[in-house]
Chains A and B, each alone.
Chain A
């Protein structure tokens, strides 16, 4: 089993829709997670941290479910500019053991 697994998608959603991605992780001791956004042929950029109590930033909400070992990213009122690949990151092993998922591609359609 991969350490961090994501559905590669693509998720094709209309503008204004709500979309959610999950990311499963294999290490039950993991506690530190992030979501990064990567535009096509560009570098990844931090979108948000994932706290055990959940984290909301505008239209974006990140959640951690320890019992089922997954994190989620919810995007409300999708915009065309949200089209990108979203990378799940387990940073629990410290800087030398930051594990990236392969990403979930989102395409928001007019």
Chain B
């Protein structure tokens, strides 16, 4: 089983709908992240959290919100999805002891029509 699990893996939705992407991890890491990946743009940070009470905006947080329900769970919400939010979304975790390595989930492919 994957250490970082994302659900759903694929989702097609319509403009204006609310979408939640969920991430859970068994690595015991405090630090969790949400990235999106677009062709030609690379991975960009949406939100990050260093512990349950800590939430921080990343490079492209507009249109997104997050919830850190527990150390192991970090959810990303799109309150009103729009087509330019069509992308591949990755959750990641890290631990300072690991020297900066990011451990990614398998990704959630979201299509907004």
Contacts and interface: CB of A to CB of B under 8 A. Distances in A.
B102 interface: yes
B41 interface: yes
A43 B99 contact: no
B31 interface: yes
Contacts of B50: 95
B51 interface: no
A42 B106 contact: yes
Interface of A: 4, 8, 32, 34, 36, 41-46, 49, 87, 91, 95-96, 98, 100-103
A36 B101 CA distance: 10
B41 A102 contact: yes
Interface in B29-44: 31, 33, 40-44
* 5 A-B pairs closest in CB distance: A43-B104, A100-B43, A102-B42, A100-B42, A46-B101
Interface residues of B, number: 22
Which of A8, A91, A101 has most chain B Cβ within 10 Å?
A91
Interface in B43-89: 43-45, 48, 50, 56, 58
Nearest to A45: B104
A42 B94 contact: no
A89 to B, nearest CB: 8
A46 B41 contact: no
Contacts of A36: 102
Contacts of B44: 100
A46 B104 CA distance: 10
Given A4-B42, A44-B102, A100-B44, 16 more contacts: A32-B100, A34-B100, A34-B101, A41-B107, A42-B107, A43-B104, A43-B106, A46-B101, A49-B100, A87-B42, A87-B43, A95-B33, A95-B48, A95-B50, A95-B100, A103-B42
A20 B102 CA distance: 24
A95 B94 CA distance: 9
